[in-house]
Structure 1
Amino acid sequence: MKPSAIHADFQKMMDIVPNDAGDFSWDAVINIFPFLADLEKSSQDPIHHQEGNVGIHTRMVINELVSSAEYRDLSSRDRFKMFWTAVFHDSGKPATREELPGGRITNAGHSRLGAMIARENLRSKKVPFFLREEICSLIMLHQWPFYLWETNERRSPMQQRKDAIKASLISDTRHLLMHATADARGRISADNAGIVERVGLTGLLFEEHGILGKPYEFANNESRLACFDHEDREPDYAAREDFRCHVTVMSGLQGSGKDTWLAENRPARPTVSFDQLRIDMKIDHSDNQGAVAQAAQELAKTYLRAGQNFSWNATNVLPEMRGKVLRLLRAYNAEIEIVYIETLPEVLLKQNANRKAAVPVDAINRLVRKMEPPQPWEAHSIKYVLPDTLTNEFMFENPAILAP
């Protein structure tokens, strides 16, 4: 594959990453992502973070990470991944900060929000898609090793195993443990040693289930979906694959090229299209979409009852949006393929502007801030349609080619 040009800011991100236990420049990080300076303004819980604000903690975590022997043994790609995971891991804390009576501070939901913040910002720098999503997954999961080792009334041994397996499907669990160890050590707390010990116990859990550094292997695709659909379904159970029909579910921002892909790859299939339904029903993008969603569900049910293959064409970039569709398809025993399309930001806006019914840029940007690509437990298969710029990772083996 011919090398693609590297975005200048992406090159700067690469240049900041220490090759070994050397120093790093926080000022250089802030120069690329100025909003991260606000981490200094966000105080933390006085019990678990006696070191001070989120910015201080973040730098301590990075120092612990890059000084570790494990970091020195990583490839240049994985050093990039681990370094920027540490940079962004608590970026969701300022917006989720809540002070409780007595002076305690909580940041509920900061892991998921931090992953969204990282995704939006790494996307803007054209960081390759799969590398970007590995970083976002580590941020999303970064607290799990602190408590995954334990079972209690809220987490049965079965749920514990499923959570561990889920982590293995979207992250290298060795890297998840590496970050968690740096996170535990990069703070001032009376229980640093205890947190590190709990991370170690989670590591033993990953080893026990054969998922340390590798994803869990299900018997087949249906077994993977059924495992997470049914609370009492054992991961080892080999589910029967006998589907009534096949459904292609499109996922991508407005203007990403979903209509074009369907026309070229699924031309003979009927399509449940939100855009077409809006036109037929004379409903604007800014109007309430309840009637459109209901009409789409009813049309889909006619195909599902007949056992007919079809496509579902809508934005579907949020798990909550996809979930309603996927639950319907699962109820009718359909084989589900998600086709996720992403293109470069400037191409997306140009293609959207050329649509018959262009979506306001502000509406697209709101979705960019919240979007989460599909995960392995959502569909039997996921196809990624991406430009070369977002898949080519030549820069970690060869000299960089700077974008103009």
Structure 2
Amino acid sequence: MWTFTNDKQWSALIHHFPEVRDMAGVVQDPRHHAEGDVATHTQMVMNCLAEQADYESLSTDSQEILWTAALLHDVEKRSTTVVEPDGSITSKGHARRGERTAREMLYVAHHILSPAPFFKREQICKLIRYHGLPLWIFEKPDPLKTLLQVSLEVNTHWLTMLARADVQGRLCTDQADLLYRVDLFEEFCREANCWGQPRSFASPSARFHYFSRDDAHPDYEPFGEAACEVVLLSGLPGSGKDTFVSRHLADWPVVSLDTYRQRLKISPTDKQGTSRVVQLAKDEAKALLRSQTSFVWNATNLTRQLRQQLVELFVTYKARVRIIYLEVPYQQLVRQNRDREHVVPNDVLQRMLQRLEIPSVWEAQQVDYILPTR
């Protein structure tokens, strides 16, 4: 069973983890957090979470996921907190940045922190990313679509528990209103059939159709055969993409950004050169799509925005898209990158890790995760 740490005393946490130690002294707006700094708030949240009956009824594994999310939910207020000209204090973007910090911590790990298994790690990261959503979901342009999307990434029951503890673990005048919002979120989840579970769809194609269009209904089932299939690989350098293709898709045409870079002698850090590489690769892909030939798009594809642009291109030609995300343990990643013919410098690899966004199941008709066996 994975644990973040066996010694959960605050004194031990601040001793071993600089990310926790940095919470001390990070100010918060007293109108919303009169209890004090982020360290004080975080400890209060963790105590309130532990007192919830729903938390006590969870398995030890599930408790560890929620406990870790509570510990790290505001970890990046340290880098995002700003005192505005009017004297208010904000920390815009701390949840998104906190997700990335948590992923790096739990993937790279260090001497007393064991790497978290992939799906546990991603639950923790998404709890951090969305911990404020229950308070603000009805201010989103499309609350239902937002909720259904989030339900495919995180356990909404756990998210509600964390949000409730986040409100209870602070001193503010509007606490009752905030708790009411959390209750509304819970009821919204129940009505949308995604309370503590992913919202189900008639088929993977129906799911993709709903999330790729503004006017789609979640119960609509699209019809029509795909003209061909595109396998879009995603993963850090050294994660084994080329090996996967040679073993499982050896007879498929491969559109490879690295191949163009090597042919044209363009460095991955050359932005202008990379734009040319991408355009050449897209031209090759379009020719294959026009001929209705299935192929592999082989590149790192680390961000959702980049993948979305490619998926939109492929489906325009009526292709079915399968995203395959590959991951290996960090030390193996570093070793395999070092053994590659074209090594990515370590500082570049670290920046890529910090930008990494794991593909979500709604990004394409099919999303597969090729992970190390434990």
Matching of residue 121 in structure 1 with residue 105 in structure 2: yes
Aligned residues: percent identity?
A: 37
TM-score, normalising length: structure 2: 0.95
- Relative contact order (alpha carbons < 8 A, sep ≥ 6): 1 or 2 greater? 1
Equivalences for residues 233-272 of structure 1 within 5 A: 233-272=216-255
Equivalences for residues 318-357 of structure 1 within 5 A: 318-357=303-342
Letter in 2 for 1:128: P
Give a deviation string over 1:317-370, Cα, whole Å, max 9, x none. 211222221221122221111111111111111111111111101000011112
SS at 1:337's partner residue?
Answer: strand
Distance 1:239 1:100 in 2: 49
Letter in 2 for 1:332: Y
2:362 to 370, 377, 393: 377
Matching of residue 132 in structure 1 with residue 121 in structure 2: yes
Letter in 1 for 2:335: K
Give a deviation string over 1:35-83, Cα, whole Å, max 9, x none. 3211112101121111111111111100100122111111011000000
The Cα RMSD (Å) is 1.4
Q: Given that residues 337 and 382 in structure 1 are in contact (C-alpha distance below 8 angstroms), is that contact kept between their aligned partners in structure 2?
A: yes
Q: Given that residues 14 and 80 in structure 1 are in contact (C-alpha distance below 8 angstroms), is that contact kept between their aligned partners in structure 2?
A: no
TM-score, normalising length: structure 1: 0.88
1:315 to 293, 297, 300: 300
Partner of 2:112: none
SS at 1:29's partner residue?
Answer: helix
Letter in 1 for 2:251: A
SS at 1:357's partner residue?
Answer: coil
Letter in 2 for 1:191: D
Letter in 2 for 1:134: Q
Q: Given that residues 244 and 333 in structure 1 are in contact (C-alpha distance below 8 angstroms), is that contact kept between their aligned partners in structure 2?
A: yes
The count of residues paired between Structure 1 and Structure 2 equals 367
Q: Given that residues 222 and 241 in structure 1 are in contact (C-alpha distance below 8 angstroms), is that contact kept between their aligned partners in structure 2?
A: no
1:208 to 157, 181, 191: 191
Partner of 1:3: none
Which 5+ residue runs of structure 2 have no aligned equivalent?
110-114
SS at 2:231's partner residue?
Answer: strand
Matching of residue 287 in structure 1 with residue 287 in structure 2: no
Letter in 1 for 2:256: S
Q: Given that residues 15 and 21 in structure 2 are in contact (C-alpha distance below 8 angstroms), is that contact kept between their aligned partners in structure 1?
A: no
Question: How much has 1:14 moved relative to structure 2?
Answer: 4.5
SS at 1:210's partner residue?
Answer: coil
Equivalences for residues 94-113 of structure 1 within 5 A: 94-113=78-97
**Regions of 4+ moved over 3 Å:** none
1:176 to 148, 155, 159: 159
SS at 1:272's partner residue?
Answer: strand
Question: How much has 1:241 moved relative to structure 2?
Answer: 4.3
Matching of residue 15 in structure 1 with residue 22 in structure 2: no
Distance 2:61 2:314 in 1: 38
Partner of 1:188: 171
Equivalences for residues 137-156 of structure 1 within 5 A: 137-148=126-137, 150=138, 155=141
